[in-house]
Amino acid sequence: MPPTESDDREPVRVELHSHTIHSDGVLSPADLVRAAADAGLAALAITDHDTVAGVAAAREAGETGHVDVVGGIEFSARANDHDIHLLGLFIDEHDDELLEATERYRRIRHERARRMLGKLESLGAPVTMEAVERISGPGSIGRPHVADALVEAGHVPSANHAFRRYIGVGRPAYVRKPALDAADLIRRIHGAGGLAILAHPGSSRVPLSVVRRLADAELDGLEIEHPKHRRGDVKRLRGWARRLSLLTTSGSDYHGPGRGDTALGEYSVSGERFRRLRRESARYA
Ligand code: AMP
Ligand code: FE
Ligand code: FE
Ligand code: ZN
């Protein structure tokens, strides 16, 4: 049984962490919403990396497909020199200060890709920005797109090899992404009416000291059930959430077929937990 909270014969399930072609996912927002409906999900949060560009199309598809689409984002952030991801859930995607942050990231990601391409060139594995931009399509440029460009150019046999050999953390063409401060991003998420949730703290290896500081900066919750979390992570994070009075969420971090081996809705929350989260978000509305 996947770690899903279910009760009745027809349990309501909600997916709170998913990606589209507007970042490193492979499905369009409309196709992702259709996939959610097919999977029997009542609601779906679109949480692309550093952009809300896919939310509007998903909302539109949700209205005809009977899926309750939640405005979301997964921000890259820095907290005490740790690289972390912050989910914003129930956000208004039209909020000015939120959009100002996403615009900054658009430029940051482009410049960082350019620097990685420079390193790849000097390592004898040149790829063009045109190729990376074509592969990333309308979305936030990220390392997965650089990885695909490396495969396309014949420098590596798979994206996995690209990370291991060139662009994974600590590899020779890796460039650390400049990131906005977590406290600032939490403020912006709240300003846009959303809950700020620390994404996959286990796989990001965030220590308790940093979680405490984030809690002091009004972080709302921790993502507990996640494909990259081991049983030990889940247990430890539950303890932290209880101790710091933080909300808890689950998410599949779905990137579409062929990207990762997690199914949409595999790590879902129940309808009851979803309603509780939505109620909690109302304080920022
Ligand atoms: P970026 O935000 O550009 O640094 O890219 C990070 C994204 O790359 C993550 O959200 C994952 O989707 C993906 N990623 C990170 N490490 C790997 C890896 N070793 N293999 C495949 N994809 C990865
Ligand atoms: Fe990703
Ligand atoms: Fe993430
Ligand atoms: Zn994600």
Q: What share of the chain is helix, strand, coil (3-state, %, to 5)?
A: 40, 15, 40
Tell me the average pLDDT across 267-278. 97
Ligand nearest to the CA of 260: 1
3 state DSSP class of 88: strand
Ligand nearest to the CA of 204: 3
What's the CA dihedral at 89, 95, 97, 100 to 10 degrees? 100
Give the residue, by CA position, lying nearest to ligand 1 atom 3. Answer: 142
Q: State pLDDT tens for residues 198-245.
A: 999 999 999 999 999 999 999 999 999 999 999 999 999 999 999 999
Substitution site in 19, 74, 143, 165 for ligand 1 pocket (most atoms within 8 Å of beta carbon): 143
pLDDT tier for residue 260 given thresholds of 50, 70 and 90: confident
pTM of structure: 0.95
User: Does ligand 1 have an atom closer than 6 angstroms to the CB of 168?
Assistant: yes
**Residue 215 CA to ligand 2 centre (angstroms):** 24
User: Does ligand 1 have an atom closer than 6 angstroms to the CB of 163?
Assistant: yes
pLDDT at 9 over 60: no
Question: Is the backbone of residue 148 left (phi > 0), alpha (psi -120 to 50) or beta?
Answer: alpha
3 state DSSP class of 85: strand
Helix or strand holding residue 243 (H, E): helix 231-243
**Residue 169 CA to ligand 1 centre (angstroms):** 10
Q: The tokens of 116 are what?
A: 């990685």
Ligand nearest to the CA of 108: 1
User: Does ligand 1 have an atom closer than 6 angstroms to the CB of 177?
Assistant: yes
Question: Helix 129-136 crosses helix 143-152 at what angle (to 10 degrees)?
Answer: 120
End-to-end CA distance of the chain: 36
User: Does ligand 1 have an atom closer than 6 angstroms to the CB of 49?
Assistant: yes
Q: Are 250 and 262 in contact (CB under 8 A)?
A: no
pLDDT of residue 7: 47
User: Does ligand 1 have an atom closer than 6 angstroms to the CB of 254?
Assistant: no
pLDDT at 3 over 80: no
pLDDT of residue 12: 95
pLDDT at 75 over 80: yes
Give the residue, by CA position, lying nearest to ligand 1 atom 23. Answer: 144
Tell me the average pLDDT across 263-267. 97
Give the residue, by CA position, lying nearest to ligand 1 atom 11. Answer: 144
In the chain, what percentage of residues exceed pLDDT 90?
93
Residues with CB under 5 A from ligand 4 (ion): 74, 253
pLDDT at 269 over 70: yes
Give the residue, by CA position, lying nearest to ligand 1 atom 6. Answer: 143
Q: State pLDDT tens for residues 123-179.
A: 999 999 999 999 999 889 999 999 999 999 999 999 999 999 999 999 999 999 999
Q: What is the mean pLDDT of the chain?
A: 96
pLDDT at 195 over 80: yes
Helix or strand holding residue 70 (H, E): strand 68-79
- Nearest of 182, 187, 245 to residue 213 by alpha carbon: 182
**Residue 47 CA to ligand 4 centre (angstroms):** 7
